[in-house]
A and B are shown apart, each in its own frame.
Chain A
């Protein structure tokens, strides 16, 4: 009994610690800047949707006048960049992960490790040379260029997570399918990919979140009309002050898609598909 109470208290404490900031942000997003900056702060206020309307209509009305903000366009950029990047990384990374898991070829370990090492290097290390290349070949400020650079984030992640899942599949299962008369591409698509499904979903989701949260690549390599929300939110730091209300609303809007995706995907992540596959 005592243990249950203690455990409940501990869980509550942790939940409050991690969720209170989010709760406060949600509250802020319904307040005017004056309410937010009032001292002492109070949870009692007249809720307003002005922050959201400002974001959605793209007209930020402040003391200094009307300011155009491209938040919805930034949000759309985020969705586009993250989705396309993860899709490209999946198309490239899943077959590559399969090859690294199943076949031993010269330098396979070295290539795999080199790809992983992209995750070790701080992005700033590659940004300057990348900027110069991109200017040279005309990829600066294009979606293609950004999606390409985002592969640095998504590809190693997908490659290494999915590789582990492929290695866990008993090769006998794939052999059995091939001996039954199916070609290796069919075996890959009908056996290996479905069985590694939870891993692919997990890796894809993680890669999506990492891409979504990326700031520095887009800051340097793209101009305003290609930038995602992470960079776009800078616009709320205006000459006449920081627009806390809009920032809060922007945060709420920008975490919603990722949160929804994570909640949707989690049931696929926990599903233990390989149970009962082979005796052991």
Chain B
């Protein structure tokens, strides 16, 4: 049974359609990352599920119960806000405990639960402090502890790592998956960092323009993005996009007919965009069949990889990423680039939809 079931939700503020006919279902114990650029309505979506906002249309089912009209306190979800939203007049202990006091009268039970989750999140030593005395990392953990302490079946996390420093974010990115899995909750995790989404999500739901452009496993999203927009959002450096028309299984890049393989033969003459991941491109110093000439402009070593910026003869910018362990040091200058046709992505230019290769 799906634990979170969103059915054709719509929500607009004044004339602005923030969420538009959006559906999603998440299974028990699953972590679904809701990923999208800022301002696409990720936070609004969480607020709809938590019951802070009401949808204009559509239903929300949590744990098999229709809660579209239910008050937030009856929905049984845990939430961590991006801005922490701690209660400034209560100690960290009372902040965390507040998630229990509504249902649990026994002070000892509350104490045991709060101390357990505090230990898990390494904030036991600051429980008696007020939020203003905590560092950002401790505030973030307190907010997370408050969301987790009641063992909610559904956990909503609104970009919880947005406001913490890089080191802590990295640590938390490593700790969170096991922490969330241990909680057994179904998690909706909002983020605008694609790496975070790929690291944490069982599935990623890519939110663009109020609807999900694609809901799939991280590797699927990366290797087989549904649209140009999705392809552009995942990957650093971003995917190379080259417009053109395939011609009998080949594609012209800077005047060179580069083979795409027989799988795209049927697309001859269609206005398309070829997508090439920077790491799919290989460089060679000699011309060879299927390789197109490039001029390497800049070389940026990034330890684990080297990112190269190159120009094609017709002036197009191309990013190439190579594993950084290669002995051969790259220098600016002319070279030839080629790729495995199986790694090429082809999109329809007008609709932005990816074209499935024919088998």
A residues at B contact (CB < 8 Å): 170-173, 175-184, 186, 191, 194-195, 197, 273-280
15 A-B pairs with CB atoms under 8 Å apart are: A173-B86, A176-B81, A178-B72, A181-B73, A181-B99, A182-B98, A183-B71, A184-B71, A186-B102, A273-B89, A275-B88, A276-B86, A276-B88, A276-B133, A279-B163
The residues of B that contact A279 with a CB separation of less than 8 Å are 82-84, 136, 139, 163
A142 to B52 CA separation, bound complex (whole angstroms): 47
Q: With contacts A181-B103, A276-B134 known, is A175 near B150, CB below 8 A?
A: no
A201 to B265 CA separation, bound complex (whole angstroms): 77
Query: A274 near B102 (CB under 8 angstroms)?
Result: no
Closest-CB distance, A176 to chain B (whole angstroms) = 4
The residues of B that contact A183 with a CB separation of less than 8 Å are 71, 73
A178 to B53 CA separation, bound complex (whole angstroms): 12
Q: With contacts A176-B81, A176-B146 known, is A182 near B102, CB below 8 A?
A: yes
A280 to B139 CA separation, bound complex (whole angstroms): 13
A275 to B83 CA separation, bound complex (whole angstroms): 13
Interface size on B, residues (CB 8 A): 36
Query: A175 near B87 (CB under 8 angstroms)?
Result: no
The residues of A that contact B72 with a CB separation of less than 8 Å are 175, 178-179
The residues of A that contact B52 with a CB separation of less than 8 Å are 171, 175, 178-179
Map CB proximity to A onto B132-158 as digits: 1 under 8 Å, 0 otherwise: 111010010000001000100000000
Closest-CB distance, B193 to chain A (whole angstroms) = 17
Query: A181 near B102 (CB under 8 angstroms)?
Result: yes
Contacting A at CB under 8 A, from B70-105, are 71-73, 75-79, 81-89, 98-99, 101-103
Q: Tell me if B36 counts as interface (CB < 8 A to partner A).
A: no
Query: B83 near A172 (CB under 8 angstroms)?
Result: yes
Specify which of B73, B99, B131 is in contact with A276 (CB 8 Å cutoff): B131
Query: A179 near B73 (CB under 8 angstroms)?
Result: yes
Q: Tell me if B130 counts as interface (CB < 8 A to partner A).
A: yes
The residues of B that contact A182 with a CB separation of less than 8 Å are 73, 98, 101-102
Supply 5 further A-B pairs (C-beta < 8 A) apart from A175-B81, A179-B52, A278-B83.
Answer: A170-B85, A177-B87, A177-B98, A180-B73, A275-B132
The residues of A that contact B136 with a CB separation of less than 8 Å are 279
Closest-CB distance, A36 to chain B (whole angstroms) = 51
Query: B85 near A172 (CB under 8 angstroms)?
Result: yes
Q: With contacts A194-B89, A275-B88, A278-B84 known, is A176 near B132, CB below 8 A?
A: no
Which residue of chain A is the closest to B81 with respect to CB atoms?
A172
Q: Tell me if B337 counts as interface (CB < 8 A to partner A).
A: no
Query: B83 near A191 (CB under 8 angstroms)?
Result: no
A73 to B209 CA separation, bound complex (whole angstroms): 71
Q: Tell me if B210 counts as interface (CB < 8 A to partner A).
A: no
Query: B73 near A170 (CB under 8 angstroms)?
Result: no
A170 to B86 CA separation, bound complex (whole angstroms): 10
Closest-CB distance, A113 to chain B (whole angstroms) = 23
Q: Tell me if B293 counts as interface (CB < 8 A to partner A).
A: no
Closest-CB distance, B317 to chain A (whole angstroms) = 37
A104 to B71 CA separation, bound complex (whole angstroms): 18
Q: Tell me if B50 counts as interface (CB < 8 A to partner A).
A: yes
A180 to B86 CA separation, bound complex (whole angstroms): 12
A181 to B146 CA separation, bound complex (whole angstroms): 12
Query: B102 near A195 (CB under 8 angstroms)?
Result: no
Contacting A at CB under 8 A, from B44-74, are 47, 50-52, 71-73
A278 to B136 CA separation, bound complex (whole angstroms): 10
Closest-CB distance, B53 to chain A (whole angstroms) = 9
Which residue of chain A is the closest to B47 with respect to CB atoms?
A175
The residues of A that contact B79 with a CB separation of less than 8 Å are 175-176, 179
A184 to B73 CA separation, bound complex (whole angstroms): 9
Of all A-B residue pairs in the complex, the 9 with the closest CB atoms, nearest first, are A276-B132, A181-B102, A277-B88, A172-B85, A180-B99, A278-B83, A176-B85, A178-B72, A175-B52
Which residue of chain A is the closest to B143 with respect to CB atoms?
A176
Closest-CB distance, A20 to chain B (whole angstroms) = 42
Give the residue among B89, B130, B150 with the most A Cβ atoms within 10 A: B89
The residues of B that contact A181 with a CB separation of less than 8 Å are 73, 76, 99, 102-103, 150
A258 to B86 CA separation, bound complex (whole angstroms): 36
The residues of B that contact A173 with a CB separation of less than 8 Å are 85-88
Closest-CB distance, B125 to chain A (whole angstroms) = 18
The residues of A that contact B163 with a CB separation of less than 8 Å are 279
Closest-CB distance, B227 to chain A (whole angstroms) = 32
Which residue of chain A is the closest to B149 with respect to CB atoms?
A180
Q: With contacts A179-B75, A278-B83 known, is A195 near B103, CB below 8 A?
A: no
Query: A175 near B132 (CB under 8 angstroms)?
Result: no
Q: With contacts A178-B73, A181-B73 known, is A195 near B98, CB below 8 A?
A: no
Q: With contacts A180-B146, A181-B103, A273-B89 known, is A280 near B133, CB below 8 A?
A: no
Closest-CB distance, B164 to chain A (whole angstroms) = 9
